[in-house]
């Protein structure tokens, strides 16, 4: 099997697992205990916190460990709303966010708040000036993803930060898909809040962080002990946090090399596919893109049928939209780019990763070309 | 170990076959037998409802079924995909079923689901992934007849036969279908499951009744779902006297005895539901439910009646749990069929399917309507 679905999740790095093992099978330490067991565990968490902080240019005390990217996004949005004192806030976001931002925003709307949804252009990018035009005097928070999970376009988040700072608006970015693929520096981005997830960068599932810039006040969504400064109570997922720290350390050290390698593979893949398969469109081609993500539309092809046929042939890819019936909505991202439902349904996402070998690329090209041709013949 | 061969693919070279897996024992064994025969088996489960709609349902089509099917696919080491048909199910099955109830008829959602959703969607889907056949765990048999045509027969386990639910399929559809357990009894199927150590060997029968949640009527579930307000009305007896009130005609079906909500000096049965004046007619004479005639329209013929002869002898089944009754059928010019039973049958219900048989052979299916 060839795995080209690294935007869905990545394989745990063996070195990460090695660091996690003592915390899965070893001492019983609760990091909040005062004895030596507790102290050792607390040190492990501190070390991990420092590693993750260094990875995004933050201070360790600015991080809140969560159960993953979704919880981090929810804490950013609802935590900010809860701290604002209003139950009917004004929020600005985009129509191409992950569901972990879209659905909290819909919830805010249902509860009486107002959400302005920034559009994207045909290249899959928001326009900073159009997005800033949506800001109002009482806007509480702006949430714009750093890189889109479906098509990999990198959004101009930093071009919003002057405007948000001037107006005293909180700027949140969901950086889950960007991590390990492009540099992330909270200072350069100028964001107040940033979400990350470990399992997208060869760490374990079930752990993430929300970066909360020093001085920003949030309120917790769950209540309990003092852990994570009371913003995320509950005994820490020690093994997960330790693994996350190691994964960030590796990703930071390998970032340039990983990105260059993935981009080489992606480029070879796209060039060959476009040469061999007529009617192929590279979605997001004219925008800055993550180096690993290739979202392709194949004229006249049903994306889901292609994904299943590829799976049966030994290649794992994905459709943007995780639904399968002919009349289900196609990718909301491609729809937002102005693609017709038929075009959107004909798209498949291939996402490369650190563990792909060069021969995977050649084999993948072969399988995709063959399968698209078969599906087209079968329609005639 | 090997098991008895099944109709359709006994001597075939390996083919790609999509098996509709409900998570129950029957479809699991269908998949297992095909796999054992060396075919390239792919499991598929139709998702018909969202999780929150399936609460408390022990049904074959519920989300719990998807998880069980996935588990079995893992045990058989085959791929398994979920096909999302939630919208089609709502539009093609639930909506029309409610329209039937609200018009005083009793719908047959399972037959329509088989025709339009299960086999319709599965056959389309399987073609897209290059499969030659779709198989299910129904107790029915398919046999070839002349000219590449196929006919549908009752399952050999007469107690489990499901041909009634499949009688709306077309001969063309049948030629791409396999029923690998149609020649087995339920007991044999369970034994195969046990001998293979399959986790679903002991699951309850799901039948085709995938919508019935415990403690809830299907009709009332639909009413809530579509937010319909059903007017109250009166219940009258044979002589036209008002003997009670009802809370919506959708609560009733012809032949029903329980749950009428009326205290009366004797037992009562629903004799008719009159949507036009929102009235339920009951009778205290059970034999008033007996009738010797019905009319069926929207016929689907699997074995067309002999040409030049508009009248033929057959057996007609008017419900799933009904013993087929001998009848004389007469074709009308408009394509409908008039059925004259040799002996009276009980509670002929508009909206239900009438399935025409010649012994084990399914001749066709029509919808009972009130003339």
Reported as a single tens digit per residue, the pLDDT across B294-320 is: 999 999 999 988 887 889 999 999 998
DSSP-derived 3-state class of residue A290:
coil
Do residue A155 and residue A278 come from a single domain?
no
Do residue A237 and residue A281 come from a single domain?
no
Do residue A39 and residue A92 come from a single domain?
yes
- Mean pLDDT of the residues in chain B: 87
d(CA B142, CA B172): 12
Reported as a single tens digit per residue, the pLDDT across A137-154 is: 999 999 999 999 999 999
Do residue A38 and residue A138 come from a single domain?
yes
* Contact between A258 and A354 (Cβ < 8 Å): yes
Across the interface, of A302, A309, A325, the residue whose CB is closest to B83 is A325
d(CA A238, CA A242): 6
pLDDT band at A329 (very low <50, low <70, confident <90, very high): low
- Please report the ipTM that was assigned to this predicted complex: 0.82
Reported as a single tens digit per residue, the pLDDT across A337-365 is: 888 888 888 999 999 999 999 999 999 99
Which residue's entry shows tokens 């719908």? B107
- Which residues pair with residue A280 across a beta bridge? A298
Interface of A with B in 293-332 (CB under 8 A): 302, 305, 308-309, 311-312, 323-328
Which residue's entry shows tokens 């992606």? A266
* Contact between B81 and B44 (Cβ < 8 Å): yes
Do residue A247 and residue A259 come from a single domain?
no
Chain A nearest-CA distance from B354, in A, is: 31
* Paired sense of beta strands A139-143 and B79-84, if any: unpaired
Active site residue A105: no
Do residue A146 and residue A238 come from a single domain?
yes
Across the interface, of B81, B87, B127, the residue whose CB is closest to A327 is B87
Reported as a single tens digit per residue, the pLDDT across B197-254 is: 887 766 665 544 456 566 668 898 899 889 999 999 999 998 999 999 999 999 999 8
- Between chain A and chain B, the number of residue pairs with CB atoms below 8 A apart is 35
Q: Which of A99, A150, A102, A98 is nearest to A124 (CA)?
A: A150
Choose the most confident range, by mean pLDDT, from A278-292, B73-87, B208-222: A278-292
Q: What percent of chain A has pLDDT over 90?
A: 87
Percent of chain B that is helix, strand, coil (3-state, to 5): 30, 30, 45
Q: In what order do the strands lie in the sheet with B279-283?
A: B242-246, B233-236, B279-283, B269-274
- Beta carbons of B129 and A302 less than 8 Å apart: no
pLDDT band at B2 (very low <50, low <70, confident <90, very high): very low
DSSP-derived 3-state class of residue B155:
coil
Helix (H), strand (E) at residue B26: helix B25-36
* Contact between B302 and B151 (Cβ < 8 Å): yes
Residues of B in contact with A328 (CB under 8 A): 84, 87
Cβ-proximal residues to B326 (8 Å cutoff; 6+ apart), any chain: B313, B314, B315, B341, B342, B343
Do residue A217 and residue A125 come from a single domain?
yes
Do residue A245 and residue A168 come from a single domain?
yes
Q: How many CB atoms lie within 10 A of CB B195?
A: 12
* Contact between B365 and B111 (Cβ < 8 Å): yes
- Mean pLDDT of the residues in chain A: 94
**What pLDDT does B215 receive?**
67
Do residue A50 and residue A185 come from a single domain?
yes
Residues of A in contact with B128 (CB under 8 A): 302, 305, 308-309, 375, 378
Q: What percent of chain B has pLDDT over 70?
A: 89
Choose the most confident range, by mean pLDDT, from A253-257, B48-52, B216-220: A253-257
Reported as a single tens digit per residue, the pLDDT across B94-142 is: 999 999 999 998 888 888 888 888 898 899 899 888 898 999 999 999 9
Reported as a single tens digit per residue, the pLDDT across B345-370 is: 999 998 899 999 999 999 999 999 98
Residue numbers of the domain that contains A177: 14-251
Do residue A246 and residue A304 come from a single domain?
no
CATH at residue A201: 3.40.640.10
Whole-model pTM: value is 0.85
DSSP-derived 3-state class of residue B6:
coil
User: How far is residue A44 CA from its own chain's centroid?
Assistant: 26
d(CA B65, CA B45): 8
Across the interface, of A308, A312, A328, the residue whose CB is closest to B84 is A328
Q: What percent of chain A has pLDDT over 70?
A: 97
| B317 phi/psi in degrees, rounded to 5 | -110, 125
Reported as a single tens digit per residue, the pLDDT across A84-106 is: 999 899 999 999 999 999 999 99
Chain B nearest-CA distance from A280, in A, is: 19
Single out the residue in A221, A251, A281 at which a domain terminates.
A251
**What pLDDT does A216 receive?**
96
Alpha carbon distances (Å) from B60 to A326, B67, B68: 23, 11, 10
**What pLDDT does B77 receive?**
95
- Asked whether residue A124 carries a pLDDT value surpassing 80, the answer given is yes
Do residue A25 and residue A133 come from a single domain?
yes
CATH at residue A276: 3.90.1150.10
pLDDT band at B4 (very low <50, low <70, confident <90, very high): very low
- Asked whether residue A326 carries a pLDDT value surpassing 80, the answer given is no
| A9 phi/psi in degrees, rounded to 5 | -165, 165
d(CA A131, CA A143): 11
Do residue A259 and residue A236 come from a single domain?
no
Single out the residue in A185, A218, A251 at which a domain terminates.
A251
Could you list the beta-strand ranges (E) of A135-199: 139-143, 170-174, 193-197
In total, chain B counts a number of residues equal to 371
d(CA A244, CA A248): 6
d(CA A299, CA A283): 13
Single out the residue in A235, A251, A267 at which a domain terminates.
A251
- Asked whether residue B344 carries a pLDDT value surpassing 90, the answer given is yes
Reported as a single tens digit per residue, the pLDDT across B142-167 is: 999 888 889 999 999 989 999 999 99
Mean pLDDT for the stretch of residues B11-37: 91
- Crossing angle for the helix pair A358-379 and A238-276, nearest 10 degrees? 60
Mean pLDDT for the stretch of residues A239-255: 98
Q: Report the domain count for chain A.
A: 2
Percent of chain A that is helix, strand, coil (3-state, to 5): 45, 15, 40
- Full set of structural domains in chain B with CATH: 16-196 (3.40.50.620), 230-284 (2.30.30.280), 289-369 (2.40.30.10)
């Amino acid at each position: 099997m060839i795995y080209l679905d690294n935007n869905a999740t990545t394989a745990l790095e063996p070195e990460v697992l090695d660091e996690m093992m003592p915390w899965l099978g070893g001492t019983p330490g609760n990091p909040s205990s005062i004895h030596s067991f507790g102290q050792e565990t607390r040190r492990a968490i501190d070390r991990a916190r420092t590693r993750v902080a260094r990875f995004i240019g933050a201070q360790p005390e600015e991080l809140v460990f969560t159960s993953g990217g979704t919880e981090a996004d929810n804490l950013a949005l609802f935590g900010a709303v809860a701290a604002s004192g209003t139950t009917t806030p004004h929020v600005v976001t985009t129509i191409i966010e992950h569901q972990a931002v879209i659905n909290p925003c819909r919830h805010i709307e249902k509860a009486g708040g107002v959400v302005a949804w920034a559009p994207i252009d045909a290249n899959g990018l928001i326009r900073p000036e159009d997005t800033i035009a949506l800001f109002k005097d009482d806007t509480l928070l702006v949430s714009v993803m750093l890189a889109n999970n479906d098509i990999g376009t990198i959004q101009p988040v930093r071009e919003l930060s002057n405007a948000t700072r001037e107006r005293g608006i909180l700027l949140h970015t969901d950086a889950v898909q960007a991590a390990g693929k492009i540099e992330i520096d909270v200072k350069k981005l100028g964001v107040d809040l940033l979400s990350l997830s470990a399992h997208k960068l060869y760490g374990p599932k079930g752990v993430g962080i929300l970066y909360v810039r020093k001085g920003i006040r949030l309120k917790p969504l769950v209540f309990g002990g003092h852990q994570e400064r009371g913003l995320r109570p509950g005994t820490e997922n020690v093994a997960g946090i330790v693994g996350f720290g190691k994964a960030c350390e590796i990703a930071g050290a390998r970032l340039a090399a990983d990105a260059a390698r993935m981009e080489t593979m992606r480029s070879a893949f796209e060039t060959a596919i476009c040469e061999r398969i007529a009617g192929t469109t590279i979605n997001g081609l004219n925008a800055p893109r993550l180096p690993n993500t290739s979202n392709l539309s194949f004229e006249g092809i049903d994306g889901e049928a292609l994904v299943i046929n590829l799976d049966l042939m030994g290649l794992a890819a994905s459709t943007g939209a995780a639904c399968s019936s002919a009349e289900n909505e196609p990718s909301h991202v491609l729809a937002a780019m102005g693609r017709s439902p038929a075009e959107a349904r004909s798209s498949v996402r291939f996402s490369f990763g650190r563990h792909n070998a060069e021969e995977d690329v050649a084999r993948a090209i072969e399988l995709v070309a063959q399968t698209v041709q078969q599906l087209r013949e079968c329609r005639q | 170990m090997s098991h008895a061969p099944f109709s359709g693919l006994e001597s075939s070279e390996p083919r790609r076959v999509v098996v509709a897996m409900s998570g129950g024992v029957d479809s699991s064994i269908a998949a297992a037998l095909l796999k054992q025969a060396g075919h390239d088996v792919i499991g598929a489960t139709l998702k018909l409802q969202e999780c929150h709609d399936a609460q408390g349902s022990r049904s074959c089509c519920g989300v719990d079924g998807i998880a069980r099917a996935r588990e079995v696919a893992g045990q058989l080491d085959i791929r398994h995909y979920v096909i999302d048909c939630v919208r089609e199910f709502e539009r093609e099955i639930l909506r029309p079923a409610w329209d039937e109830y609200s018009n005083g008829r009793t719908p047959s959602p399972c037959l329509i689901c088989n025709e339009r959703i299960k086999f319709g969607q599965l056959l389309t889907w399987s073609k897209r992934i290059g499969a030659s056949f779709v198989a299910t765990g129904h107790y029915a048999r398919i046999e070839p007849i002349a000219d590449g045509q196929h006919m549908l027969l009752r399952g050999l386990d007469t107690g489990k036969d499901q041909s009634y639910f499949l009688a709306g399929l077309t001969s063309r559809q049948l030629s791409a279908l396999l029923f690998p357990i149609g020649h087995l009894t339920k007991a044999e199927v369970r034994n195969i499951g046990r001998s293979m150590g399959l986790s679903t060997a002991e699951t309850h029968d799901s039948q085709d009744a995938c919508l019935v949640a415990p403690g809830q009527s299907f009709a009332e579930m639909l009413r809530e779902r579509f937010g319909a307000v059903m007017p109250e009305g009166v219940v009258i007896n044979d002589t036209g006297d008002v003997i009670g009130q009802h809370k919506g005609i959708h609560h009733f079906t012809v032949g029903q005895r329980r749950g009428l909500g009326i205290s009366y000096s004797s037992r009562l049965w629903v004799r008719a539901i009159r949507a036009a004046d929102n009235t339920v007619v009951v009778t205290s004479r059970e034999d008033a439910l007996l009738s010797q005639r019905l009319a069926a329209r929207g016929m689907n013929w699997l074995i067309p009646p002999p040409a030049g002869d508009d009248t033929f002898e057959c057996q007609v089944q008017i419900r799933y749990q009904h013993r087929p009754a001998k009848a004389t059928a007469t074709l009308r010019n408009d394509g409908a069929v008039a059925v004259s039973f040799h002996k009276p049958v009980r509670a002929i219900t508009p909206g239900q399917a009438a399935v025409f048989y010649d012994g084990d052979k399914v001749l066709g299916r029509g919808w009972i309507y009130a003339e």
